[in-house]
Amino acid sequence: MSSLSVFKNEKSHLYLPFMSDFYNGFAQPFGWALFRIIIGGMLVVEGWPKIVAPLAQVGFVENLGFYPGWLWSPMLAGMQFFGGVCIAIGLLTRPIALANAVMLAITVWFHVAHPYGDALLTQAGIDALKSGSEYFTPDGIKRLADGGSAFLAAVQLKAELASIFWAAGALLVAAFGGGYFSLDRMFRKQF
């Protein structure tokens, strides 16, 4: 193990030693704070609809095997929304980020195990598309000519990649904590 802090660069270890003060005093502390705020902020954005309707995820969490859904659905909402706020401000950062990383890892598994499928449109929708229905714009007809399978493949890939990114981001925050600009540091308490 190195005795160097992750956010400290010794001049002798840098290709551009004169940048050491910039890295240590500005780039890394502010960069880490920005990263932590983005991870927390996305959790807030994703958690807001669940806070507004805390029991809306009952069926989803029960399908994942978490019973009773009436308990787990509001817990998921709170963990995402309030946990995201705590991560963004750097309060109880490590345990909350770890809990969210586990939740996001389950999300990755869910997207991989339950893909969206290969057709967006039913056969009736495909027939309406081919007949030149007024419900489809020319651009919509181009995008859905295959029944929507290319569109759904793009949505599936985006869901998987986004979930992987946010899970990895939450794991990084759990590993390294709130950083220099956090309430944890201000209170001098970290897990």
Examine residue 91 and state whether it is found in any structural domain, yes or no. Answer: yes
Residue 188 backbone class (left: φ over 0; alpha: ψ -120 to 50; beta: rest): left
Any domain includes 154: yes
Quick check: is 76 in a domain?
yes
In a domain, 152, yes or no: yes
Range of the domain at 115: 23-186
| In a domain? residue 1 | no
Q: Given this model, what pLDDT does residue 151 score?
A: 82
The four Cα atoms 94, 190, 34, 38 give a dihedral, to 10 degrees, of 30
**Does a structural domain hold residue 191?**
no
- In order along its 191 residues, the chain shows pLDDT tens digits of 344 455 677 888 889 888 888 888 888 999 999 999 999 999 999 999 999 999 999 998 998 889 999 999 999 999 999 999 999 999 999 999 999 999 999 999 998 998 887 777 777 777 777 777 677 777 777 777 777 788 888 889 999 999 999 999 999 999 999 998 999 988 876 66
| Rounded-to-integer distance, Cα 62 and Cα 184, Å | 35
What are the residue ranges of helices labelled H in the chain?
Answer: 20-22, 28-52, 58-63, 69-89, 93-113, 123-130, 138-143, 149-176, 183-186
Q: How many domains is the chain built from?
A: 1
The token duo for 90 is 């750097």
What integer pLDDT is reported at residue 4 of this predicted model? 44
pTM above 0.85, yes or no: no
What is the rounded CA–CA span in Å between residue 165 and residue 80? 15
Per the listing, tokens 């309430």 go with 183
Q: Confirm whether 15 is domain-assigned.
A: no
9 within some domain = no
